[in-house]
Amino acid sequence: MVEVDGIVTSIVYKNDDNGYTVAKIKCEQDMENYSIVGYMHYLSEGQRVHIKGEWTYHKSFGKQIKVDSFEEILPTTLEGVEKYLASGLINGIGPVTAKKIIKAFGEKALDIIEMNPERLTEVEGIGSRKAKKIGESLKEQRELKEIMIFLQSHGITPSYGIKIFKKYGAASITVLRENPYSLCEDIQGIGFKTADKIAKSLGMNVNSPFRIASGIKYVLSTAVGNGHVYLPKEECIKKSAAELKVDASLIGEGINTLNLNRDIVVDEVEEVTCIYLSPMFFSEVKSAKKIVELTLNRIDVETEKVDIEIKDFEKENNISFAPEQIDAIKEGVKNGVCVITGGPGTGKTTIIKCIIKIFENRSLNVCLCAPTGRAAKRMSESTGYEAKTIHRLLQVEFISDSDRNTFAKDENEPIEADVIIVDEASMIDVMLMNSLLKAMSSTTRLILVGDVDQLPSVGPGNVLLDIIESGGIAVARLQHIFRQSMESLITINAHKINNGDMPILNEKDKDFFFLQNNSADGIIKEIANLVNVRLPKFKKDLDRMKDIQVLSPMKKGEAGIIHLNNALQEILNPKSPSKTEKKVGEYILRVGDKVMQTKNNYQLTWESLTIEGEEGSGIFNGDIGYIERINTEDSKAYIIFDEDKRVEYDFSSLDEIELAYAITIHKSQGSEFPVCIIPVFYGPPMLMTRNLIYTGVTRAKSFLVLIGVKQTLSTMIKNKTITKRYSSLKNRIKNFCEVIK
């Protein structure tokens, strides 16, 4: 730890949103000039400050002090006060005005500005409006400083401190003392755990109603993060009491209060008392109601004419549909809502194309969409029609004041479409489904296409499965594999795995291979060798970076993506003096790295590299890109997504980025890669399941290699365990269907 006093001579860079600053300081101890870097929102040129931090060395800028904390040293001499006033720190005062103020009030100038700013009108050239502005500026500086010191003393980082000050202003300390748990509701990124630490440091009672209420919502939010739409009341009470370490009776009282305030909803489903966060409840109920409403939109179609159109399509495309595929086309054409589900090679894409053609013959407007950018891109490439992400179709808008997003398309301004076809529907959670349904007029038809045997959505709910199992919606199940797909062992083995059978392995001149290796280190080394040597040698036109994707069942663990990414980065993009890098979390990010966005960020803007002047916003969870440039002086990184979209990241946003040489199978949903490598190693039984390995296998387009323990593969295929998700969409659809009968 180093402590120095000095004068800020210049501000090199400042991010006004989070306070990250690079500045120059003249150190009073040795009269040397140093760079200081850190979160210092209220730092200005001319300030005298006391700095605490650590010496670091930057390869371009030399010796620096990485600031942990700092405080302003107010001047005590006449000369010091004048310099302080002339520094520009206080709005409305420059060098000339500073001299006049010092001449009028001497060393008492700062006290007068703060306590009696109206007296500034005694100075020539300062009117009442300017005097008020100067007083408010100094007051805001002092308030911000006091609040930041208070927040930092309670473990709140400067970046969050700025957000808190922007939200609550001068009342920040008062709000936190009264109810620190309000941070969970008002400040994006601050959760219950952080608020609870602050509350503890402020001496708040552990049985406080504020704490109980916030803790219950935290437990429900955690459940939502694990895929649940609600928790049974008994489980909610048990988990909340354990988390908060309080008596269960207090949780019961808290649930009643939250229910009265409509922060949560208590509802009976199938004789079970269910506790919902309000948005979850209304998303589920409204989704069920709208789905049933759309089913009433049945269309009378001329069966003979449709039969002719299907035969014409078969002739034009030189194909022959199986009976179940013809049934799927007809179900999609005649129903207000229809689900088409099937595994790889069952012709879902061809069926979609035929349905679109039939609708086009009737001059109907068809919109295609998918939950992710990569899935939408695949849909466009495979059908030949434009497909959008659901977010783009709904015209997502970011609300900067609340750090949240909304959709321009809703019940007041619905999507202009006669038919909406959604691919990869297994990835849709209940919140997104509600937003999509809300933006559909009652006459629009909905066709959901997906593989119900894949992993469920990352978000809450079991939407596709619930719709299918409700019994009230038309469902077309595809099992027949097309002749050309029968040539691929990837397709054949995916169906074998889904049926609980071991796949066919290592047939010559085929596309599905298994390499036995019993150690995690051996698996990682073998994967590195495959990526770097064997596969590029075997397939000459293979791009090691773009065409090969490693998929792991786990993030952590011996064969998890963290270890794999570090090993693959060392081979594919090794450290070099010519490549700037930045340490972020568990990874070092380096120019040239393959990376992934890990959360939806609607605020990020991008510019097109191929179409001059084209811009857009929104980079989404699962988007893969490559680091083009890292600028440590400006604290910026530039990443190219989809080979065309350049995005500028502030260093403070890089926690949303991680290496993507290896990604989890969960993150691969909706994607397809030319070559996939999957480590099959020991892991938790709840994770190592049939639908996980099935999902991973179906991501490979032309070549797949499994590496690991054959017994583990066999165990996964036998493990049909599907973690139960609390969701009542199925029951609600059933109930609404009974009402309209």
CB 332 within 8 A of CB 449: no
Domains 297-480 and 487-708 share a fold: yes
Residue 334 labeled ligand binder: no
Closest among 555, 437, 504, 445 to 706, alpha carbons compared: 504
pTM of the predicted protein model: 0.80
Show the beta-strand stretches assigned E in 202-322: 231-232, 264-269, 272-277
Distance CA 346, CA 485 (A): 8
Backbone angles phi, psi at 135, to 5 degrees: -60, -45
Structure tokens at 387: 């497909």
Helix ranges (H only) for 362-515 are 373-383, 390-393, 430-438, 463-469, 489-498
Q: Taking 60 as the threshold, does the pLDDT of residue 139 lie above it?
A: yes
Average pLDDT over residues 676-684: 93
Q: Which residue has the higher pLDDT, 208 or 686?
A: 208
Q: Taking 80 as the threshold, does the pLDDT of residue 515 lie above it?
A: yes
Residue 372 labeled ligand binder: no
**Architecture of the CATH domain 2-147:** Beta Barrel (2.40)
Q: Taking 60 as the threshold, does the pLDDT of residue 400 lie above it?
A: no
pLDDT band at 38 (very low <50, low <70, confident <90, very high): confident
DSSP assignment string, 676-693: EEEEE----TTTS-HHHH
Matching residue, tokens 């594999």: 481
Predicted local distance difference test score (pLDDT) of residue 383:
94
CB contact set of 557 (below 8 Å; sequence gap of 6+) = 520, 563, 681, 683
CB 614 within 8 A of CB 687: no
How far apart, in Å, do the first and last CA atoms of the chain sit?
Answer: 75
Cβ-in-10-Å burial (0-12, 13-18, 19+) of 153 comes to: exposed
Q: Which residue has the higher pLDDT, 572 or 73?
A: 572
Q: Domain 297-480: give its CATH code.
A: 3.40.50.300
Residue 201, amino acid: S
What pLDDT, in 10s, does the model give residues 477-487?
Answer: 998 887 555 67
What pLDDT, in 10s, does the model give residues 689-704?
Answer: 999 999 999 999 999 9
Does the domain at 177-276 match CATH 1.10.10.2220? Answer given as yes
CA angle 329, 333, 338 (to 5 degrees): 80
Residue 345 labeled ligand binder: yes
Q: Taking 80 as the threshold, does the pLDDT of residue 84 lie above it?
A: no
Average pLDDT over residues 269-297: 94
CB 199 within 8 A of CB 155: no
Residue-averaged pLDDT of the chain:
88
Closest among 217, 199, 219 to 208, alpha carbons compared: 199
pLDDT band at 26 (very low <50, low <70, confident <90, very high): confident
Q: Taking 70 as the threshold, does the pLDDT of residue 402 lie above it?
A: no
Q: Taking 70 as the threshold, does the pLDDT of residue 24 lie above it?
A: yes
DSSP assignment string, 579-603: S-EEEETTEEEETT-EEEE-S-EEE
Q: Taking 70 as the threshold, does the pLDDT of residue 347 lie above it?
A: yes
Question: Of 191-195, 424-428, 436-440, 708-712, where does mean pLDDT reach its minimum?
Answer: 191-195
CB 710 within 8 A of CB 502: no
pLDDT band at 384 (very low <50, low <70, confident <90, very high): very high
Average pLDDT over residues 344-349: 91
Q: Which run of H or of E encompasses 708?
A: strand 700-708
Average pLDDT over residues 166-190: 85
Q: Taking 90 as the threshold, does the pLDDT of residue 5 lie above it?
A: no
Domain boundaries, the chain: 2-147, 177-276, 297-480, 487-708
Predicted local distance difference test score (pLDDT) of residue 462:
94
Question: Of 8-17, 125-134, 453-462, where does mean pLDDT reach its minimum?
Answer: 8-17
Q: Domain 487-708: give its CATH code.
A: 3.40.50.300
Average pLDDT over residues 489-513: 93
CB contact set of 116 (below 8 Å; sequence gap of 6+) = none
Average pLDDT over residues 296-322: 88
Q: Taking 60 as the threshold, does the pLDDT of residue 401 lie above it?
A: no
